[in-house]
Chains A and B, each alone.
Chain A
């Protein structure tokens, strides 16, 4: 079983739609959680961190459920520019100052005009 699992998509949605991505992780020792965005043929970049209380950044809302080991990302009012692959990431702190970042395989979003 993969450590971080995501629905690969693709999700094809019209402009203005609301779309939700889900992610599950297997290691209960995971400490920090993130969503990264990767554009075609580019490197991944941090979109937002995910906090236990849930957090919002403009049209983007992230939620974490530690009990279910589940992370979600909601995008409201989708724009064409939101088309990308969204990667769920968990961070483990195996000891000391080290951190280990594990990526899901990503969910492809295509926003249609």
Chain B
């Protein structure tokens, strides 16, 4: 398996523009997570899905952020309109819960810069 695949790897955009981040989880995994990482706040859980259904989006900072998972092999995180404070590395991770084992596998991340 190729692992969790995220695109793009890097994104530079102007304030006010729409940004869409994409994620392909590992085949067979039933949970998908979106995290944001900054120096100040570390890794923050934004939203997670189980079997394509959003379970907890309490970490989504505000209405400008939205996430979808239309099928088991694809998810998007959208920011509209983007702001400079959204600049961060956004990670997608997937896991398959087997008993107490819930190891999450991460993609390489999307480094977003909003200018």
Contacts and interface: CB of A to CB of B under 8 A. Distances in A.
Q: A and B, one complex?
A: yes
Nearest to A85: B42
Interface string A70-113: 00000000000000000100010110111111111110000000
B64 interface: no
A100 B45 contact: yes
Contacts of B106: 43-45
A49 interface: yes
A46 B97 CA distance: 15
Residues of A contacting B: mostly: loop
A92 to B, nearest CB: 10
Contacts, number: 61
A54 to B, nearest CB: 16
Nearest to A3: B45
Contact of B102 (A94, A101, A105): A101
Interface in B19-56: 30-31, 33, 35, 41-43, 45, 48, 50-51, 55-56
A35 B26 CA distance: 21
B100 interface: yes
A98 B31 contact: yes
Contacts of A49: 101, 103
From A31, A46, A91, name the one whose CB has the most chain B CB atoms within 10 angstroms. Answer: A91
Given A102-B45, A105-B43, A91 B102 contact: yes
Contacts of B55: 94, 98, 100
Contacts of B48: 98, 100-101
A31 to B, nearest CB: 6
A94 B56 contact: yes
30 contacts: A32-B100, A32-B101, A34-B103, A43-B91, A43-B107, A43-B108, A43-B109, A44-B43, A44-B106, A49-B101, A49-B103, A91-B100, A93-B97, A97-B50, A97-B97, A98-B50, A98-B55, A98-B97, A99-B31, A99-B97, A99-B102, A100-B48, A100-B55, A100-B56, A101-B45, A101-B48, A101-B95, A103-B35, A103-B42, A105-B41
Interface of A: 31-32, 34, 42-46, 49, 87, 91, 93-94, 96-106
